[in-house]
Amino acid sequence: MTAVKAAAPARARTRDKAVRARGAGAVAAFATPLAVIAVLCLAAPLLPVPDPSVQVLSDALKPPAWLDGGDWSHPLGTDHLGRDVFARILYGGMLTFLIAIAGMLAGAIPGTLLGLISGFYRGRADTVISRFVEAQLALPFILLAIAIIAGSGRSLPGLVLVLALFGWAQYARVVRAETLSLRERPFVLGLRCAGVPTPRILLAHMLPNVAGTVLVLTTLQIGTVILAESALSFLGLGVVSPQISWGAMLADGRAHLTTAWWVAAFPGLAITVCVLLVNLLGDALRSWLDPKKRRY
């Protein structure tokens, strides 16, 4: 019998790399500033900024440094209790990111697993899970949040739970659709023929194959979760003082919007920039991981 030779793969791989490298550039361009912001926020206690909770009432509502009456000890000014806005944005960012990531994971993990089960087993499991997804998507988020938080009181775990409830249905729906098409691929039949147990097919083969989609969805969802957290904190359903989040800062600054715009504007800007970067990163990841560019 003649031996088979592998010829073409080398060239194809070079071209793959070129396509991938271009996509990777865009991903890096959005991931880098986001990473810088995240590191700054998480490292806030180590930075030479004032304590975000210290009130200096004589310094209340000082404008940013470059305006008349401002100085560089408070680069972004102070709020109505004389607290440093820049320090509060950094410390608030820490909690905002932690809540966003925890809320995202708490939604992504059960959502992905339920989507996999629903799409792979179909039948009764699918019917039940899909009805729950539809019910979840039909409920207005703020209404649900108010109901839960009013019932359980304001707390961080409660907030994460609400955000998880808000997110899981999206994952379940997208992963289910992806799994439905994936399970018809010949390799799944091949695995079944080879006697690979079903749970193993699900976790070792289906999960990695939907991971790209989940990753993209996750990035996009982080932006949504940051917005949702801000909305809840703005409505007074989120974090409790002295904890700080960007949404809570927005709510604090609302009263002084006409006289001291900087108190609300800078956290608002932080939310906008981060959500925008996260969404752009999600889009870049999506085109980077585009199945049409994969060579199989």
User: Rounded distance, CA 212 to CA 291, Å?
Assistant: 9
The distance of closest approach from Cβ of residue 221 to other proteins in the complex, given in angstroms and rounded to an integer, is: 23
Q: Is 84 exposed, middle or buried (0-12, 13-18, 19+ CB in 10 A)?
A: buried
Q: What are phi and psi of 180, to 5 degrees?
A: -55, -40
Nearest to 107 by CA among 220, 31, 200: 220
Number of residues that this document lists for the chain: 296
Select 4 or 143, whichever has its Cβ closest to other proteins. Answer: 4
- Closest distance of CB 187 from other proteins, Å: 5
User: In terms of CB distance, is 80 or 205 closer to other proteins?
Assistant: 205
Our CB check for other proteins shows the closer of 105 and 191 to be: 191
Smallest distance, other proteins to C-beta of residue 169, A: 26
Nearer to other proteins, 14 or 259 (CB): 14
Q: Which two tokens stand for residue 28?
A: 């890096």
Long-range contacts of 29-38 (CB under 8 A, 24+ apart): 29/284, 30/277, 30/280, 30/281, 30/284, 31/281, 33/277, 34/274, 34/277, 34/278, 34/281, 37/93, 37/270, 37/273, 37/274, 37/277, 38/93, 38/97
Instruction: Find the shortest distance in angstroms from Cβ 185 to other proteins.
Output: 7
Residue whose CB is less far from other proteins, 170 or 213: 213
Q: Which residues bind other proteins (CB under 8 A)?
A: 1-9, 13, 122-123, 185-187, 189-197, 200, 204-205, 208-209, 294-296
Beta carbon nearer to other proteins, 2 or 241: 2
Task: Supply the minimum distance, in Å, between the C-beta of residue 135 and other proteins.
Answer: 26
Q: Report how far residue 65's alpha carbon sits from residue 90's, in angstroms, rounded to the nearest whole number.
A: 17
Q: How far is the CB of 129 from other proteins (least distance, A)?
A: 17
Distance in Å, CB of 196 to other proteins, minimum: 6
Sign of CA dihedral 15, 20, 23, 25: negative
Question: Which residue's CB is nearer to other proteins, number 67 or number 204?
Answer: 204
Of 217, 199, 182, 205, residue with least CA distance to 105: 217
What's the closest the beta carbon of residue 91 comes to other proteins, in angstroms? Answer: 41
Closest residue by Cα to residue 266 from 74, 103, 44, 104: 74
Q: Which is nearer to other proteins, 186 or 242 (by Cβ)?
A: 186
DSSP 107-166: HHHHHHHHHHHHHHH-HHHHHHHHHHHHHHHHS-HHHHHHHHHHHH-S-HHHHHHHHHHH
